[in-house]
């Protein structure tokens, strides 16, 4: 297996994006799978590398990346040295990043006869699930969609009217990162950008527009994103399958760092479901 780590996608006038690609030199007709991490996430979190290896070994070209404003840098993609970038992130930027990665993947593997650049499946975890739903509703290059513990509504995550009012007055609010103990900023631009694009950032209406097959995966022990959000996405979609992972938490019973050689049983179930669905 070929594992290309930390490829830098330079973009004129925009922050670069760091990308990993996992694929085989032997297997033919490998569809492209692009994975989007969630809030406070990154491409090398926990067991995501193991997941990438397992899915690539099953005959896929698996690509994962860091959103350009996730707080990581080209030199340190795992922790959050660039909190200024984190504070300036928003949903519009993440959609733009995903578009750039899809185009990069098609261009990168266009001349590789072993990889099928006409088949692109998106996987999104948590907030990344919402991003992939929005993208799948507008981009005909996407042939299948998988959500993992996905959110179903971006608008209800901003807090109460009073909290939003305070946020506007202060210009910034902070969220503590449980792992690194950093005070992670969110500048008010995040909410302004959401309000400016509220219609196009509506996950419900986007889901209703999607005709391609969707696999919705959610753990029944998820305290990060309520399982009812998976039921909502399932209810709105025309062509979907819902899989509940028994005992699965928000990250399918893994953690960061993940020092074991195998994924958790719950994540292993997720991996098997993904490969079957994309095949």
Non-local (6+) Cβ contacts of 83 within 8 A are: 71, 182, 184, 185
Mean pLDDT over 46-62 rounds to 98
Q: What's the chain's average pLDDT?
A: 97
pLDDT of residue 96: 98
pLDDT of residue 236: 98
Q: Residue 255's pLDDT band (boundaries 50, 70, 90)?
A: very high
Contact criterion met (CB below 8 Å) for 37 and 67: yes
Label residue 241 left, alpha or beta by phi (over 0 means left) and psi (-120 to 50 means alpha).
beta
**What are the tokens at 19?**
């990308």
Q: Where would I find the H helices in 83-237?
A: 83-87, 91-109, 127-136, 161-170, 189-196, 203-209, 228-236
> How are the residues of the chain apportioned to helix, strand and coil, as percentages rounded to the nearest 5?
35, 25, 40
Whether domain 2-156+202-278 has CATH 1.20.1250.20: no
Mean pLDDT over 113-118 rounds to 97
pLDDT of residue 32: 98
Mean pLDDT over 50-76 rounds to 98
């Amino acid at each position: 297996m070929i594992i290309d780590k930390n490829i830098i996608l330079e973009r004129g006038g925009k922050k670069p994006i760091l990308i990993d690609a996992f694929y085989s030199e032997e297997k033919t007709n490998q569809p492209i799978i692009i994975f989007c991490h969630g809030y406070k996430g990154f491409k090398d979190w926990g067991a995501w590398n193991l997941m990438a290896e397992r899915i690539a070994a099953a005959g896929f070209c698996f690509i994962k990346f860091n959103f350009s404003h996730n707080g990581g840098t080209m030199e340190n993609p795992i922790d959050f040295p660039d909190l200024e970038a984190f504070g300036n992130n928003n949903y519009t930027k993440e959609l733009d990043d995903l578009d750039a990665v899809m185009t990069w993947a098609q261009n990168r593997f266009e001349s590789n006869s072993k990889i099928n650049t006409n088949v692109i499946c998106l996987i999104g975890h948590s907030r990344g699930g919402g991003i992939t739903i929005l993208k799948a509703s507008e981009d005909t290059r996407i042939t299948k969609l998988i959500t993992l513990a996905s959110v179903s509504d971006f608008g209800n995550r901003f807090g109460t009217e009073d909290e939003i009012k305070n946020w506007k007055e202060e210009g910034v609010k902070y969220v503590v990162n449980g792992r690194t103990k950093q005070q992670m900023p969110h500048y008010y631009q995040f909410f302004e950008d959401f309000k400016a694009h509220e219609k196009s950032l509506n996950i419900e209406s986007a889901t209703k527009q999607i005709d391609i097959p969707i696999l919705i995966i959610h753990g029944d022990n998820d305290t990060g994103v309520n399982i009812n959000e998976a039921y909502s996405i399932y209810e709105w979609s025309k062509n979907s399958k819902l899989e509940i992972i028994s005992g699965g938490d928000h990250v399918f019973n893994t953690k960061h760092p993940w020092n074991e050689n195998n994924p958790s049983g719950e994540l292993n179930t997720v991996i098997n479901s993904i490969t079957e669905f994309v095949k």
